[in-house]
Amino acid sequence: MIPFSPPRIDQKVVDEVSAALLSGWITTGPRTKLFEKRITEYCGCKTTVAVNSWTMGMQVFLHWWGIGEGDEVILPAYTYCASANVIVHSGAKPVMVDIGHDDFNISIEAVRKAITPRTKAIIAVDLAGFPCDYNALNALVREPEIMNMFLAGNEHQEKLGRILVISDAAHSFGAEENGKRTGSLTDITSFSFHAVKNLTTAEGGAVCFNLPDNFDHDAIYKEFCTLILHGQNKDALAKTQKGNWRYDVEEPGFKCNMTDLQAAIGLVELERYQENLDRRKEIFRQYDLAFHHEDWAITPLHTTDNRMSCYHLYQLRIKGATEQQRDAIMQAIFDQDVSVNVHFLPLPTLTAYKKRGYRMEDYPETWNKYSNEISLPVYFNLTDEQVSTVVEAVKKAVNTIL
């Protein structure tokens, strides 16, 4: 069976994790701090805080930014539920909009139409690893008419003076726009390092801060590290200094710090990340070549003049297929011992959001792309021979069902 997306765990990773285990530091310690520094250097952002998941990193951030009851946060209807769940848990209202025609990312015009005086933030999702049009989003929130509509709710929001742009980069570590990497493309970026991601720490994530220069990013880093550790102003590493045991809890915080065991995996993954990207790009090339001349195949957009994917997901679409036919094609692929997936069930199809009044018919482009989409295996250890097996399984399944 060809799996869908297994992590790259080899002896180098095992050795580094073993070294962390034997070092005496298995929670937040020197490896986590080094991992944060390396991410900041790689992405080109101003500071980075490593956390235990994308979800909790974003949850704490929304709390820190002061988003709550009465506020609205705009996001695409086509994303994983975590993007919306954090908004609900903050007390704010998720305002879903449709995606664009060219890719799977949020429609800039739909965002424009959805902005109200209650809008505090936009969460743009880099689906499949292809970055959103941050040039356009960043320009949109700075338009005088949009800025005049903005109502700040606290000191942070007042200092920014406009709607905040957040990059949900759970899929897009290493993607680029205009030669800059994800993490530095807009105000805030949140990464996921879950087991299926290009770069994994088993579970984990990071929040990258790239706010304007009038924000003190050193102070933000210190405050955020406190927030992710119950509001305690000293972590275990700081308390190891002689006589430095006494601490304070500055406010009721959260518990979502990254551990050195996770960071040990991440440091290895980051060191060889370009090798990973190169292999993924080659797999995309082989899929493109195999499906380009099939009249039923719609291959995904992954490169433009100014944007480049990190090749996380290959979202093949079957032209003209219904949702039921797509599901049958997937089953036929599975029957040939090849694992595939769908990314994702749109938010308005989920019970949690249907009962909150969201309707799938309000997002036609989201449905148009979801209903015939199949994600194919892409990972470092996928061999050329296995890629050929996947291709043949897909072609046979499509020709059998359609």
- 121 falls within a domain: yes
Domain boundary among 271, 294, 310: 271
If asked whether residues 252 and 302 sit together in one domain, one would say no
- Write down the pLDDT at residue 85: 98
pLDDT at 239: 65
Over residues 80-92, mean pLDDT: 98
Report the CATH number at residue 133: 3.40.640.10
Rounding to the nearest 10 degrees, give the CA dihedral for residues 386, 387, 392, 393: 70
In this prediction, residue 142 carries a pLDDT of 98
Contact 193, 262 (CB under 8 A): yes
179 has pLDDT over 80:
yes
Q: Sign (positive/negative) of CA torsion 22, 25, 27, 32?
A: negative
Instruction: Report the CATH number at residue 364.
Output: 3.90.1150.10
Residues tagged active-site: 197
Q: Do 152 and 267 lie in a common domain? A: yes
Q: How many other CB atoms sit within 10 Å of the CB of residue 381? A: 12
* Residue 117, pLDDT above cutoff 90: yes
CA distance 267 to 31: 8
The number of folded domains in the chain is 2
Average pLDDT over residues 157-164: 98
Share of the chain above pLDDT 70, in %: 100
Same domain, 251 and 292: no
Cβ–Cβ < 8 Å for 325, 398 = no
Which of the four pLDDT bands, split at 50, 70 and 90, describes residue 326?
very high
Cα gap 112→97, rounded to integer Å: 10
Domain ranges, residue 380: 273-401
Is the entire prediction scored with pTM above 0.85? yes
In a domain, 1, yes or no: no
Three-state DSSP at 5 gives coil
Whether 3 maps to a domain, the answer reads no
Give the per-residue SS3 of 244-274: CCCCCECCCCCECECCHHHHHHHHHHHHCHH
Instruction: Calculate what percentage of the chain has a pLDDT beyond 90.
Output: 96
- Per-residue pLDDT, 244: 76
How far is residue 368 from each of residues 8, 321, 347, 357, 401, measured CA to CA in Å?
Answer: 33, 10, 14, 20, 19
pLDDT at position 245: 79
Strand partners, 122: 74, 165
Average pLDDT (122-131) is: 98
Q: Is the pLDDT of residue 65 over 90?
A: yes
Residue 317 located in a structural domain: yes
Are residue 233 and residue 352 in the same domain, yes or no? no
Could you count the other beta carbons within 10 Å of the beta carbon of residue 343?
Answer: 18
Per residue in 350-363, pLDDT (tens digit) is: 999 999 999 999 99
Q: Is residue 150 over pLDDT 80? A: yes
| Chain centroid offset of residue 296 CA | 29
Strand-pairing partners, residue 119, are 72
Angle between helix 323-334 and 384-401 (nearest 10): 130
Residue 265: which of 11, 3, 94 has the closest Cα?
11
For residue range 198-251, what is the model confidence (pLDDT) as tens digits?
999 999 999 999 999 999 999 999 999 999 999 998 777 776 677 777 889 999
Residue 292 domain-assigned (yes or no): yes
Q: Token digits for 353? A: 């959001």
Instruction: Answer whether residue 149 is part of any domain.
Output: yes
User: What is the pLDDT, as a whole number, of residue 243?
Assistant: 73
* Residue 242 pLDDT: 73
Q: What is the pLDDT of residues 372-400, one digit of tens each?
A: 999 999 999 999 999 999 999 999 999 99
Measured in degrees and rounded to the nearest 5, phi and psi for residue 188 equal -135, 140
Mean pLDDT of the region 58-80: 98
Average pLDDT for residues 177-196, to the nearest whole number? 98
Residues pairing with 76 in the sheet: 97
Question: Confidence class of residue 135 from pLDDT cuts 50, 70 and 90?
Answer: very high
pLDDT digits (tens, 9 = 90+) for 285-304: 999 999 999 999 999 999 99
pLDDT digits (tens, 9 = 90+) for 246-282: 889 999 999 999 999 999 999 999 999 999 999 999 9
List Cβ neighbours of 100 (8 Å cut-off, separation of 6 or more). Answer: 106, 107, 108, 365
Is residue 6 included in any domain, yes or no? Answer: no
* pLDDT value at residue 371: 98
